[in-house]
Amino acid sequence: MTNLPSFSTAPSRRSKIAVLLTLISCGLLWLAVPAGAVVVKVGEVTAGVSPRVFETEGLHFGEKEAAATYANPAGNPVLHGEGTYAIYWDPTDHYHGDWQYVIDGYLHDVAADSGDLSNVFAVDAQYTDKTNAPASYHNVFHGAYTDTTAYPASGCTDPAPLEKEDLIGALETPICLTSAQVATELQSFLSAHGLPTGMNSVYYVMTPPAVTVCLDAGGATGHCSDFKNAGETYENSFCSYHSAINPGGLATGDGNTILYGMIPWTAGGWGDVHLSEPDEERSEGWECQDGGFDPSNGEEFESVKPRNAEEQKAFEEMNEEEQEEAEEERLLKGPHAQEPNQLACPTADGGCDTGLADMVINQLSLQQQNIITNPLLNAWQDAAHNENTDECRFFLAPSLGGSVTAQRPTHAGTLYNQEIRTNHYYLNNAFNLAASRLPYPGVPCMHNVNLVPQFTAPSTVNSLETVGFNGMESNITLDAAVNYPGGGSPASNYATYEWNFGDGTVLKGYAPGAPACTTPWLSPCAASAFHAYTYGGTYTVTLTVVDVGGNVQQTSHEITVVGPAPPVPAPAPGAAGSGSTPPGGSGTPLVAAVTPVAEAAVISRSLKTVLKKGLSIRYSVNEQVAGRFEVLISSALAKKLKLHGTPATGLPAGTPPQVMIAKSILVTTKAGRATVQIKFPSAVAARLRHAHKVPLLLRMYVRNAASKSPETTTVLSSVTLG
């Protein structure tokens, strides 16, 4: 990279936090101030950093300037899938096991949820490289490992090392590691254990409290994971970074490339019995937990102390026990970090610090997003070198649950905005470039992806009448992007719409425009369509949408047409009689219909998510088919939950009685794989909310398009929602 910025100088810390808290307290959480984390070059090190710095200038997300320059003009590589490893460099055994359990569980959840549109990583699929394959977090978690290699002698100077009296059983001498030392150890570790390199593996290196990491030699002006009060060391400090080791010096990456994220411990020490409480700012650690503030009292750190002479006098008149109680109440009302993974306190080690790991997870998620879209630090970023999450830094809306209210005695809230599998996380949103390319839905910072094809079917119509089908009702987050046709220059790319009108007519094209797609739209136009039916009957109309990330969803409605019935085709000459050839023996053999091959599986696991967004089903077929999905529940459980449904028939012998509680029509025009969402009726959803676990049976019934004696296939699969 050339012309990379160093960290910029920002306003005083008090003014920065005051501005942030004012914005939030005015109800403008979605306009919280970004930190300006960028791809930087410090000496010989190029890294994508996540600084602590708050800036009151240059709001990134939603700004046309940022969106206009956010690009990957050369089509440099993004990641299309990878194996993920967690490496804890901890020879002194100070990275608590409960922290590791929470972090490893998160990495496992994200991997298990790969491809699910409900989590933040789905937003990345709009970003491509010259292969035109989408960036995606389709990964396998290859597990975690504790590296017990002894730390080398400090290669840098910690700007504010913990004093020995501030440590309880911690490092004898706090360590300061340079990024070069981290890279050297990672290379040595991979070699010693025969671990893979290349663009399909990503390593997240984590170090415990009292280990500081610097991009340079550190000291008073160092670029480090530690800082000393306000001033230059604070402005230069960071929470985490990602980088790439390219032994061959290739900017395009090869089999020797090592991709990694460095996640030092920057979560502070509240509730940790192994750390005493040094200066309050460094115990909090909440600058690295983006958005984790409760601004209800309009103050910042100093809010935990008496704020005027009257309060001070009242405070001094209290006895020691009353003073401690007053301090506790002020702490609970003041700003605090959000830690969704709060556990009952105290935990096995006697502390109340397990939730601190969730603050590390947020930094881990930032680097995951940026590695996916900018692994070699030369792909997707804007003119100021802001990466994906930098455009939306501090944007963690909407909250799905939890509270800003502080918990005793951790002083932490419980907000979360991600439900991945069945666990809760509080993660930074991802930048949605599609929002700057089309006005609807047009949301620049997303925590998930919506792909909801919708149209309203016309009322009963007469044959030969022209009727309209408006797919522009659809909600498609990834509706526009950039691709690289033939591996060449970047070009506009849009979601595609395909209509199957049920009478053999199929229309496929782009959006929006009816009757003609004009600049900048691609042709042919198909989001809105007109169609006329020649004959009467009931037709199933299916709209299938493929967004720019390759995600597929469809919806179907029936339309009744009044008119003459279609003519009955005359039998082919010599078709009467039996046998494989027409009478006379010399005709073309009649080809028997072949049973279609189909597969279906429920990919949803969370009952809460299903009730809100629908049951996600991934299916595949080997040819054009028509049919339906049925969601069944045992009659016994239905009775217990007071659910009513149609009794299911035709089930295999020995299957307990079932009732159908939801269904969806399936129509395809060709072989392939896709995903469909089945929404439960509101009355069914209301009853299911009372259940703790719900075992369901999915039945997929399809028939092929053979003109004579079409064959059918039935697929059954089960799932338990928790």
Looking at residue 589, its pLDDT comes to 38
What pLDDT shows up at residue 151? 95
What's the confidence (pLDDT) of residue 705? 73
pLDDT digits 0-9 by tens, 241-285: 999 998 766 678 899 999 999 999 988 777 777 765 544 444 556
Reply yes or no on whether the pLDDT at 483 is more than 70: yes
Q: How distant is the alpha carbon of residue 72 from its chain centre?
A: 21
CATH 2.60.40.10 placement within the chain: 451-562
What stretch of H or E contains 52? Answer: none
Picking from 562, 544, 561, 560, the residue whose alpha carbon sits closest to that of residue 664 is 544
* DSSP, res 130: T
Query: What pLDDT, on a 0 to 100 scale, did the predictor assign at position 626?
Result: 86
pLDDT of residue 232: 63
Does residue 332 have a pLDDT over 80?
no
Handedness of CA 377, 383, 389, 393 (dihedral sign): positive
Is-contact 618 698, C-beta < 8 A? Answer: no
Mean pLDDT for the chain?
80
Contact (Cβ atoms closer than 8 angstroms) between residue 206 and residue 34: no
Looking at residue 25, its pLDDT comes to: 32
Question: pLDDT band at residue 306, thresholds of 50, 70 and 90?
Answer: low
With the CA atoms of 566, 572, 573 and 579 taken in that order, what torsion angle do they form, in degrees rounded to the nearest 10? -140
Sign for the pseudo-dihedral over CA of 404, 407, 411, 412: negative
Q: What's the distance, Cα to Cα, between the start and end of the chain in Å?
A: 47
Residue 600 or 76, more confident: 76
Phi, psi (rounded to 5 degrees) for 80: -110, 5
Regarding the domain delimited by 598-721, which CATH topology (the fold level of the hierarchy) does it fall under?
Immunoglobulin-like (2.60.40)
Instruction: Determine phi and psi for 183, rounding to 5 degrees.
Output: -65, -40
Instruction: Indicate the class that CATH gives domain 451-562.
Output: mainly beta
Q: Which of 46-55, 316-325, 438-447 has the highest mean pLDDT?
A: 438-447
pLDDT band at 674, cuts 50/70/90? confident
Question: CA nearest 91: which of 214, 208, 262, 169?
Answer: 208
Pairing of strands 82-89, 139-147: parallel
pLDDT for residue 29 is more than 70: no
Q: Which of 31-40, 213-222, 558-567, 678-687 has the lowest mean pLDDT?
A: 31-40
> Could you tell me the sign of the dihedral formed by the alpha carbons of 207, 211, 212, 218, in that order?
negative
Inform me whether the pLDDT recorded for 146 exceeds 90.
yes
Indicate if the alpha-carbon torsion angle 678, 680, 682, 686 is positive or negative: negative
Lowest mean pLDDT among 155-164, 278-287, 469-478, 577-586: 577-586
pLDDT computed for residue 602 by the predictor? 86
Residue 235's pLDDT is 79
Strand partners, 602: 617
Q: What pLDDT is stored for residue 107 in this prediction? A: 96
C-alpha span between 480 and 280 (Å, rounded): 46
pLDDT band at residue 55 using 50, 70 and 90 as cut-offs: very low
**Going by DSSP bridges, is the β-strand pair 430-431/445-446 parallel, antiparallel, or unpaired?**
antiparallel
Structure tokens at 59: 């709001």
Check residue 307 and give its pLDDT. Answer: 52
Which position has the higher pLDDT, 294 or 434?
A: 434
User: What is the length of the chain?
Assistant: 722
The pLDDT value recorded for residue 514 is: 35
Mean pLDDT lowest among 11-15, 34-38, 549-553: 11-15
Q: Based on the number of CB atoms within 10 Å of its own CB, is 649 exposed (0-12), middle (13-18) or buried (19 or more)?
A: exposed
Out of 199-208, 373-382, 560-569, pick the least confident.
Answer: 560-569
Lowest mean pLDDT among 70-74, 293-297, 600-604: 293-297
Q: Tell me the per-residue pLDDT of 159-193, one tens digit each, with 9 for 90 and over.
A: 888 766 555 455 556 799 999 999 999 999 999 99
pLDDT tens across 149-161, in order?
999 999 999 988 8
609 sits in which H/E element: helix 607-613
- The residue ranking higher by pLDDT, 288 or 453, is 453
pLDDT tens digit string along 74-103? 999 999 999 999 999 999 898 999 999 999
